[in-house]
Structures are given as structure tokens and as C-alpha cells.
């Protein structure tokens, strides 16, 4: 039986998305972020509802109230833990480090739960998706970047400890190792997470039967490329802006670090010193490295995701995407975020409409399209 090619169609428009985005931003500001579940679900319902695969729109069915209650419980527990750690005085940084390491060790299981939740609330043609994998599969898939992330966290803690002890050379060494580890480990974690998603996501009895076209060596090489761009962002943007603000304010960074756990004013000053550089670094990452990483993975992983009755192909034009992303983020920064809905819709359209699905007609019943190219299954 022949398969039929169906290009993915995205019907979202900036003028219909902007009111939704504006309302979400306003509610997030008024509720100090507590309305995030409502903002997320409304955004995903819009994007999924305007994405058509073989003539059928995707659906997103998660309820924001259970998400809010779960987030609220997690926030209360974390704040209680951090409050207890803050009472440890000089050992507060060690307590924060221990908690972060425990959370980092649980990261593969948390990502597994997140992906399972998202898939079980996503549907196509009235049938929900699901994750055909267990927690052990998640750990095996993401153990290496998780361990690298943990090691980088340990280096960051020791950098702070050395700075407090006025050992600046060792602080620079541990800090450099930490930044390098994070720059490589976080992209690698994202790569492994997407490989895990494509290997184990399923729609009914349909799941991937093809070996993914991305070896572990290629995953590491792609992560190193993106990590180098992230490292350059730290060197060229984050560090210079941070040191300029430290010099301009006259605050002593070592003193701020020593008082952050127990002094709210010191914590606020620390945030004012770090946030401008971090914001510019994130803008750089979102403008160039992240689109490059996302498009590379999309082309490789979607094109190697196939079942005997359903397979995908993806050909995102890399140069066009990079030009679009750089222009979008330039306008986002210049307009202080007002251009974001236009940028989000333009990038979503380019990436989604670069995907096509080959479907065997019996999978769709009588609804199969008649305009499509045919090929042997």
C-alpha cells in the first residue's frame, strides 16, 4: 500500500496571537507569575489548534488548575527548604549546593514526567499520545549530561567558596570549569532529551521503528558547537557587563556573595549586578545558538522518526532560519519585547511548514488527502 505525503500546515497569525500574548503577559505581571499554568495552556492550545497534520489539527487538553496546585505545592516545599537553609548562616551556600545537587540528580526523572504529562494531554485525530518508556530509560538516556551538570554545579560552589576565602586564582579556575561544563552540558542534555522523545513517543500502537540518525558522538559534537557559542556569550557579554556594574556601583562581589543567603538587600544588589549580563547572554543564545541547535535536531530526528504506516521528513532551511531569528531578536530587544508575537509566529510557521508526514491511507480511514504525492510505504 502506498503512503501519502501531507505537508504540515500552520494557520496562526500574529494579529490573532498578539491579544492572547498580551493578556498572558499582563496576568503574569499582576499575579507575580502565579498565572503561568493558564498562560502556558492557552499558548499551547493556540499553537496546537493552528497546526494541521494530514488535515487534522492537534489538540492540547491539560487543565491549568491541577498544574497550578502542583506548582504551588512545589513552591511551598522549596521555599520552606530554602528558608531552613538560610538559617544555616555561614553554611547556607553549602546547603543550597546540596539541594541543587539532589535536584540535578533527579533531573532525568523530572524531564521524563514532564514529557509524559505533555504527551498524554496532546491528541491527533481524537487519540492521545503517550510515552512508551520508564524511568530507567530516562536515566540511561540522560545520565551523561546530568552528571556533567552536577560536576559543573560542584565547581560553581567551590568557585564561590574560594572567592569568599579570597583565593581569586582558584575561584577563577573553578568558575571557568563550571561555566565550560554548563555551556556543554545543558545543550547535551537538551539533545539527549529530544532523542529520548523521538525514540519513545507513541500514538496508539504507532511508535518509532527506525534507528535515530544521530549517534552519541554526533550529539556531543553538536553540543560542543553550541556550547562554544554560549561560552563566547559569557566571555563577551555576561562577564564584561557584570564587572562594569560592579565597578560602577562600587559593590564588592565577594561581600555580596557572602551575605546573599541571609541579607535580602545583598541578594537584590546581586541580582541587579547579574541580570543585565544574563539577559543579554540569553538574548544572544535565543538569537543564534538555540535556533541552530533546534533546527539541526529537527532535521535529523524527525527525518529518522518512522513507522511502517507513518513517517516524517523535515527540511528546515538553516540560513533562512538563522536570518529570521537574528532579525526577530534584534527587534524584540529594540521594542522591549513588543515584537515577540510577530517573531514567535514567523519562526513557528517556518519550522512547522518545513515538516511533512507520509501516512498510509488505511491509518486515516476515509479521510486521507487526495492532493498528495504517493510513494511505496
Q: Is a pLDDT exceeding 60 seen at residue 255? A: no
Q: What is the mean pLDDT of residues 4-20?
A: 95
- DSSP per-residue string spanning 83-111: HHHHTTGGGHHHHHHHHHHHHHHTHHHHH
Cα–Cα distance between 54 and 360 in angstroms, integer? 11
Give tens-digit pLDDT for 16-31: 999 999 999 999 999 9
Sign of the Cα torsion 347, 352, 353, 355 reads positive
Cα–Cα distance between 141 and 192 in angstroms, integer? 6
* Domain extents in the chain: 1-87+311-328+335-377, 91-117+129-307
Task: Report pTM.
Answer: 0.83
Q: Is a pLDDT exceeding 90 seen at residue 104? A: no
Strand order of the sheet with strand 355-359? Answer: 306-307, 310-314, 355-359, 2-7, 374-376
**Which of 70-74, 81-85, 157-161 has the largest mean confidence?**
70-74
Strand order of the sheet with strand 56-60? Answer: 9-10, 51-53, 56-60, 122-124, 127-131, 201-203, 206-207
Q: How far apart are the first and last CA of the chain?
A: 6
Cβ contacts of 288 within 8 Å, gap of 6 or more = 229, 322, 325, 326
Give 273's pLDDT tier (boundaries 50, 70, 90): low
Amino acid at each position: 500500500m502506498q503512503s501519502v505525503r501531507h505537508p504540515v500546515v500552520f494557520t496562526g497569525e500574529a494579529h490573532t496571537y498578539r491579544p492572547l500574548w498580551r493578556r498572558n503577559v499582563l496576568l503574569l505581571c499582576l499575579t507575580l507569575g502565579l498565572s503561568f499554568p493558564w498562560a502556558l495552556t492557552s499558548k499551547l492550545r493556540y499553537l496546537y489548534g493552528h497546526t494541521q497534520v494530514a488535515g487534522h489539527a492537534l489538540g492540547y487538553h491539560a487543565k491549568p488548575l491541577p498544574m497550578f496546585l502542583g506548582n504551588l505545592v512545589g513552591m511551598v516545599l522549596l521555599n520552606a527548604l530554602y528558608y531552613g537553609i538560610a538559617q544555616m548562616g555561614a553554611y547556607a551556600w553549602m546547603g543550597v549546593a546540596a539541594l541543587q545537587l539532589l535536584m540535578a540528580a533527579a533531573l532525568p526523572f523530572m524531564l521524563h514526567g514532564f514529557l509524559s504529562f505533555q504527551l498524554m494531554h496532546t491528541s491527533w485525530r481524537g487519540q492521545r499520545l503517550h510515552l512508551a518508556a520508564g524511568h530507567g530509560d530516562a536515566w540511561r538516556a540522560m545520565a551523561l549530561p546530568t552528571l556533567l551538570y552536577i560536576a559543573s554545579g560542584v565547581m560553581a560552589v567551590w568557585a564561590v567558596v574560594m572567592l569568599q576565602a579570597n583565593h581569586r586564582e582558584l575561584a577563577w579556575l573553578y568558575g571557568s570549569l563550571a561555566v565550560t561544563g554548563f555551556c556543554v552540558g545543558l545543550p547535551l542534555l537538551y539533545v539527549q532529551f529530544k532523542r529520548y522523545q523521538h525514540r519513545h513517543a507513541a500514538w496508539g500502537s504507532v511508535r518509532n521503528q527506525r534507528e535515530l540518525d544521530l549517534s552519541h558522538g554526533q550529539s556531543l559534537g553538536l553540543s560542543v558547537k553550541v556550547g562554544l557559542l554560549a561560552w563566547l556569550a559569557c566571555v563577551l557579554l555576561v562577564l564584561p557587563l557584570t564587572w562594569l556594574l560592579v565597578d560602577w556601583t562600587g559593590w564588592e562581589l565577594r561581600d555580596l556573595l557572602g551575605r546573599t543567603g541571609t541579607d535580602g538587600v545583598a541578594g537584590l544588589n546581586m541580582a541587579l549586578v547579574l541580570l543585565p549580563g544574563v539577559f543579554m547572554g540569553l538574548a544572544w543564545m535565543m538569537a543564534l545558538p538555540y535556533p541552530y541547535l533546534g533546527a539541526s535536531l529537527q532535521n535529523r530526528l524527525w527525518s529518522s522518526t518512522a513507522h511502517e504506516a507513518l513517517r516524517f521528513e523535515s527540511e528546515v532551511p538553516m540560513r533562512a532560519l538563522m536570518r529570521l531569528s537574528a532579525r526577530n531578536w534584534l527587534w524584540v530587544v529594540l521594542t522591549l519585547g513588543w515584537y515577540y508575537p510577530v517573531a514567535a509566529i514567523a519562526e513557528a510557521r517556518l519550522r512547522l511548514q518545513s515538516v511533512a508526514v507520509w501516512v498510509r491511507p488505511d491509518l486515516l480511514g476515509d479521510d486521507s488527502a487526495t492532493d498528495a504525492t504517493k510513494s511505496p510505504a
